[in-house]
Amino acid sequence: MRRLASYLKPFTATLILAIILLFGQAMADLNLPHYMSDIVNTGIQQSGIENAVPEAISENGFTLMTTFMTDADKAKVKENYTLVTAGDTKYVKDYPLAKTENIYVLKDINKDTEQELNSIFGMAAGTFIQVSKDMAEQSGQGAAPDKASEVGTVDFQQLYTMLPAFQQLPADMMNKAREVAAQTDPTMQQATGSSFVKLLYSELGIDLGKIQNAYIIKTGLIMLLIALGGVAAAVLVGLCAARVAAGASKNLRRDIFSKVESFSNKEFDKFSTSSLITRTTNDVTQVQMLIIMGVRMVFYAPILGIGGIIMVLRENASMTWIIGIAVALLIVLIVTVFSIAMPKFKIIQKLIDKLNLVSRENLSGLMVVRAFGTQKFEENRFDKANQDLTKTNLFVNRVMVFMFPAMMLIMNFITLLIVWVGSKQIADSSMQVGDMMAFMQYAMQIIMSFLMISMMFIMVPRASVSATRIAEVLETEPTIIDPKQAKPFNDSKHGEIEFKNVSFRYENASEDVLHNISFKARPGETTAIIGSTGAGKSTMINLIPRFYDVTSGEILVNGVNVKEVTQYDLHDQIGYVPQKGVLLTGTISSNLRYGKKEATDEEITQAAEIAQALNSSPSKRKASRSRLLKAELTFPVDRNSGYQLLARL
């Protein structure tokens, strides 16, 4: 895979943009559970009250809350509140109780002061709960809540009658209650304080429903914007990934095709035609799919997984062991599955080569198959190659199909475990419902990140095999290359070919096909090469245009060694009629002009006459020439149908 990494360099800017967008998408996905937790905890349970610091509080309520504060905290609170006398019209609209009673109103404060007051009021609320619990235990009565979750049952009017008793409590008892309250999680302290604020606002006559609706709508709109941002980032990442993958695969196919065009017959003997087709198409497609999925998952999965762990630790670190169990189970599952499936990926690509080989042989030799009546034999041969590939693919797919239900089972098991453990912590007032729901979603995101990584493990081995096969073609250096100092042809010996002691042996062969061949073919003469099948006639002809290079000896064309001129100049001197005719997709005229793009109408007509492609009937010859020049009919690359079309001329 690293050998093909250079094909990603032209798309570096696009890849960087994709990574930035992936980071944005991950941040959007990671923040949504947090806002969902806020809606549940603050919007629903606390009626939209975000802070433990009341914006306004009755005089009795102020006295009650400050009773459970230290002297320093009391001074800090009094410093930031203003006493408003009853009947002040400025505050009556917002706080109806101000019409008949004195209230305290919070001054304009900064964030730091707000955070400090949050801690003070939260500690005061926790101290009140602990003191109430101690008093209830001493008296044997349940006069006050013993849990933060039961604050909503408090009757403030009853508590106001107990103010003198609270103010006369021993300092030791109050300090002990503060020590116990200090051990409570700060988030739970603030939640408890917010519950008190909710009751204090009710006492003031504030419309809590309006506050709740405003908070839920505001948070919901933020979540909607974040979700839209995540969707936009995901779409743009998909676009970037597609452009990178399509561009890289286009360049790969171009370079493979260019490299194959430079191959001599020796290289074609090494790579079969069916294998080269597979490497140019299927193998490149595997790499392309890896790039598309890799850009979207290789960077996204770690960001999502690490970010999820950070958010989990921020929400509630007491249940992180559940994530550890999930990760351990996933690792065991992934290692087991891939130890079974990975060896099969390389086999699949070889079986695709075999299937292509059988298909190509049958299609190219269809007339031979029919002539000898071996259709059934070829059907069985194709069926075997097809069955082998199908069975291997089915085996791999069955193994992979098992993995996803197993992962879903793990995810559901982890969900149940989170609910079971989280419900106990909620009952003990050490966790809020929204926090448990957020933890559950973060756990799923962490597991999903491992799921995405496992999907990459599926694609990487197969794409790695394909990349290795592609690299083999690209790294193959042609054995027949042009000389650094090419010579020009000798114009005085135009049309002369000479073999001097030429011997040739195919690679890995035990003996020569041609041995010590010498002759000269002069212009104006007919030189015939006669021999039995397999004697080396075609091999000898293939040596002239350097489709193969001689093992020893020399071949001279126009008095110049073919190894001392460029292949382009050599081929420009040779007219080549292949033993096996090939017609290319296009018009009849384009096929006749294939060797000479600038050929005139007269020249292609003459060529057709020499090839006896024109109608032999004198009465039809003129019309035949006209059809030859004007025909726009295209035909597939099928020499038989092509010959029939030419015959109709």
What is the predicted pLDDT for the residue at 229? 93
Q: Mean pLDDT of successive 10-residue segments in the chain (649 residues)?
A: 77 91 91 88 83 88 88 90 87 87 90 89 86 74 49 66 81 84 78 83 86 91 94 93 92 90 80 81 88 85 85 75 82 79 76 82 80 87 90 84 80 86 78 82 84 75 80 85 84 83 86 89 86 85 88 89 88 78 75 82 80 64 60 43 40
Both 183 and 271 in a single domain? no
Same domain? 463 vs 600: no
In a domain, 216, yes or no: no
What pLDDT, on a 0 to 100 scale, did the predictor assign at position 632? Answer: 46
In this structure, the dihedral spanned by the alpha carbons of residues 593, 594, 598 and 602, taken in order and rounded to 10 degrees, is -20
Nearest to 577 by CA among 535, 533, 545: 545
Q: Assess if residue 626 is contained within a domain.
A: yes
pLDDT value at residue 633: 39
Same domain, residue pair 506 and 415: no
φ and ψ at 81, to 5 degrees?
Answer: -125, 150
Q: What is the DSSP string of 86-135?
A: TT-HHHHTT-GGGGTS-EEEEPP--HHHHHHHHHHHHHHHHHHHHHHHHH
In a domain, 278, yes or no: yes
296 contacts 22 by C-beta, under 8 angstroms: yes
Kindly state whether residues 161 and 25 are assigned to the same domain.
no
| CATH label of the domain that carries residue 452 | 1.20.1560.10
pLDDT at residue 20, rounded to an integer? 92
Query: At 526, which CATH number?
Result: 3.40.50.300
329 and 406 co-located in one domain:
yes
Does residue 260 sit in the same domain as residue 380?
Answer: yes
Whether residue 164 lies inside any domain: the answer is: yes
Q: Are residues 612 and 554 in the same domain?
A: no
Q: Are residues 557 and 599 in the same domain?
A: no
Helix axes 375-427, 320-364, angle to 10 degrees: 170
How many independent structural domains does the chain possess? 4
Q: Which of 180, 206, 232 is the last residue of a domain?
A: 206
Range of the domain at 65: 51-206
Q: Do residue 398 and residue 498 come from a single domain?
A: no
For residue 483, tell me if it sits in a domain.
Answer: no
Note whether residue 448 is domain-resident: yes
Structure confidence at residue 480 (pLDDT): 84
User: What's the length of the chain?
Assistant: 649
Q: What pLDDT score does 17 carry?
A: 93
In degrees and rounded to multiples of 5, residue 113 shows phi and psi of: -65, -40
Judge if 85 and 30 occupy the same domain.
no
Give me the helix-helix angle, 282-297 and 273-280, nearest 10°. Answer: 20
In a domain, 221, yes or no: no
- CA 60 – CA 592 distance, rounded (Å): 106
Same domain, 435 and 527: no
Of 147, 182, 206, which closes a domain? 206
Query: 340 and 266, same structural domain?
Result: yes
Residue closest to 527 by CA, chosen among 562, 499, 551 = 499
Evaluate whether residue 234 is within a structural domain. no
Q: Which of 527, 543, 572 is the last residue of a domain?
A: 572
Q: Return the pLDDT at 2.
A: 65
| Element holding 223 (H helix, E strand) | helix 208-261
